[in-house]
A and B are shown apart, each in its own frame.
Chain A
Amino acid sequence: MASASQYFAAQVRWRWLEIAFWLCALLPFVVTPTYLSLASQIAITALFALSLDLILGYAGIVSLGHAAYFGVGAYTAGIFSKFVWGEPLTGLFLSAVVAGIVGYATSHIIVRFRHLALIMLTLGLGLLLHEAANSAHWLTGGADGLQGVKIRPIFEQFRFDLYGRTAYAYSLAVLFVCFLASRRIIHSPFGLALRGIRENALRMPAIGAPSRAHLRKIYTISAVLAGIAGALLAQSTETVSLEVLSFGRSADVLVILILGGAGRLYGGILGAVIYMVARDQFSGITPAYWYFWIGLLLVAVVMFLPNGILGGLAKFFQRRT
């Protein structure tokens, strides 16, 4: 019978597959140097999906409005660089702080509700923010998008080039750091308590766990990560459009996470790779038709792969061994 500390130590240990995965993330620099801007988009989306995974996959909070925090981060980074200073790392930090504050404020509302009311509230808050950004034309540029974002080179050394070399290195590094932090959180006693809340929301308070405080905490952390992802997008593309706050973005990230497998850390990353590469390949077809395949995929995943691709793979290998 292993003790609790041994259990956590075994959870935290790095597996060979994980190390190989992160080494593979470096491959685009040598193998597909012409696709580096796509690769940076993938890293940003993966970080966004990871942030949703923390609340949806681990704490069981269903959100249809997670783009709110992504958008807050993106607009903060954009506005900061336009009016104050173009240094990327300060912008990134500030975006994380602002998104965290917004996330903490809304978490007080979020944790009180479940089921349909929760879904509707996250949707409503997301739409509210979208409309607010649309009306605040003087600050955000409204539907025209925020123009005039100028980002200085990172450490005054690495300029954001046309091929996306810097953008990918920057996004990948930030993704990796955020991933390490999430991995640490998930494999801590706090992470275990979150999974307990997900499995049975009534029993956890009964055994003395402060459920709501836990949920507020993870919701804030998730908002911080989403804000960082938004800031990365704003800085690497040097523009912010109203789309960062849209319902479509919230729905997309949900699809990505479910496709990859929620509650598995790597699910969102895998989902982002598949989704973004597929969208890039099929970009020739009209967006309206693209959604046909996404819809079909969603229906198929819910019917046949309830735990996403990673869940399906895990089951497949378990059965064989």
Chain B
Amino acid sequence: MGSLVGVLFDGFAYGMLLFLLSVGLSVTLGMMNFVNLAHCSFAMVGGYVTVSLMNSFGWPFFATLPMAFLAAAAASVLLERTLYRRLYRASDLDQCLFTIGIVFISVAAAAYFFGTVQQSASMPSYLRGSVELMGVNFALYRAFLIGISLLITIILIASLEYTRFGAQVRAAVDNQRMARGLGIDVDRSFMITFALGGGLAGLGGALAVEIIGLDHAFAFTYLVYVLIVVAVGGLGSIGGSFAAAMVLGISDMAGKYYFPWLGAFLIYLVMVGLLMWRPAGLFGKR
């Protein structure tokens, strides 16, 4: 019983991380139908910013998190303005290939600047260790991760539901042409959404260093997980991404704990099954 609670807790924390990494991609994909496979490269930017600020400049962990967000957001806006916008009307295949090219470049650049070793950063003492509650150990860092992700999720949903900008984004996701017709500046709201999504991925990458590590191949390794979350959750649906990330995180943890010989087989099976059942994702409309 105790182990089950522990697995659920760890899986929940892992799912939260996946949610942060993928929510931006889900919304931008739903909005512009742009298949951005390089989304995890933004997460990598965030992770490396945190690691280098902490290790080379001695910044405290919390101070680096906003910088990770800003750096990743800046990188994504730069890429969107200069390159991506030329490809909005291109085919799925072209978009896939182009962004895979960006992933290759970012992976090689990371290997060039930081080497191919696993990066690490020592967390502040108050986030280390664990508390015991009713016979189950809860790692403090994971609890912190869950807290901060839940906070971000609430802010995100609230701002999408109750602000003017959120309404414009929702309109653009539902029907881009109609939204343009009503005078909404879709390009502008897309740019802002893209920056937010990239920034959240960067934050996710920074928070991930402690749990899943960071090396030059990060953009590739976690691309598959992020795509699973987006495809299963349904495009443009924050709630869907959240649910899918939880399912994925918990089933991956449970699979590793209870059926270690299966490896990642279980989650791929879950993904293929879910996609065959609902091709547009659990909460997708199209």
Q: Do A and B come from one complex?
A: yes
Contact A128 to B101, CB < 8 A, known contacts A109-B276, A116-B92, A288-B107: no
Does A113 lie at the interface of the complex (its beta carbon under 8 Å from any beta carbon of B)?
yes
> Quick check: A292 and B268 within 8 Å, CB to CB?
no
Q: How far is the CA of A296 from the CA of B280 in the complex (A)?
A: 32
Contact A128 to B275, CB < 8 A, known contacts A295-B101, A302-B98: no
Stretch at the interface among B143-151, B185-193, B199-207, B259-267: B259-267
Q: How far is the CA of A187 from the CA of B101 in the complex (A)?
A: 33
Number of A positions contacting B (CB below 8 A): 42
Nearest residue (CB) in B for A121 is: B275
0 or 1 for each of B111-124: is its CB under 8 Å from A? (1 = yes): 11000100000000
Nearest residue (CB) in B for A117 is: B279
**CB contact between B108 and one of A132, A258, A291 (< 8 Å): that residue:** A291
Does B164 lie at the interface of the complex (its beta carbon under 8 Å from any beta carbon of A)?
no
0 or 1 for each of A118-132: is its CB under 8 Å from B? (1 = yes): 011101110110011
Contact A117 to B104, CB < 8 A, known contacts A125-B272, A298-B98: no
Q: How far is the CA of A7 from the CA of B67 in the complex (A)?
A: 63
**Chain A contacts of B268 at CB under 8 A?**
124, 127-128, 131
**Chain B contacts of A255 at CB under 8 A?**
97
Contact A117 to B108, CB < 8 A, known contacts A62-B93, A298-B100: no
Q: How far is the CA of A6 from the CA of B275 in the complex (A)?
A: 45
**Chain B contacts of A62 at CB under 8 A?**
92-93, 96
**CB contact between B261 and one of A135, A299, A306 (< 8 Å): that residue:** A135
> Quick check: A117 and B109 within 8 Å, CB to CB?
no
> Quick check: A292 and B92 within 8 Å, CB to CB?
no
> Quick check: A121 and B276 within 8 Å, CB to CB?
yes
Does B152 lie at the interface of the complex (its beta carbon under 8 Å from any beta carbon of A)?
no
0 or 1 for each of A247-270: is its CB under 8 Å from B? (1 = yes): 100010011001000000000000
**Chain B contacts of A302 at CB under 8 A?**
87, 90, 94, 97-98, 101
**Chain A contacts of B279 at CB under 8 A?**
112-113, 117
Does A213 lie at the interface of the complex (its beta carbon under 8 Å from any beta carbon of B)?
no
> Quick check: A288 and B108 within 8 Å, CB to CB?
yes
7 closest pairs, A vs B, by CB? A295-B104, A298-B101, A292-B108, A288-B111, A295-B105, A131-B265, A117-B279
Contacts A116-B231, A298-B101, A299-B101 aside, 7 further interface pairs with beta carbons under 8 A come to A62-B93, A64-B96, A119-B92, A127-B268, A289-B108, A292-B108, A295-B106
A positions within 8 Å CB-CB of B: 56, 62, 64, 109, 112-113, 115-117, 119-121, 123-125, 127-128, 131-132, 134-135, 247, 251, 254-255, 258, 286, 288-292, 294-299, 301-303, 306
What are 21 A-B pairs with beta-carbon distances under 8 A?
A113-B279, A116-B35, A117-B231, A117-B280, A121-B276, A124-B268, A124-B272, A125-B272, A128-B265, A288-B116, A288-B216, A291-B104, A292-B105, A292-B108, A292-B109, A295-B104, A295-B105, A295-B107, A295-B108, A302-B87, A302-B94
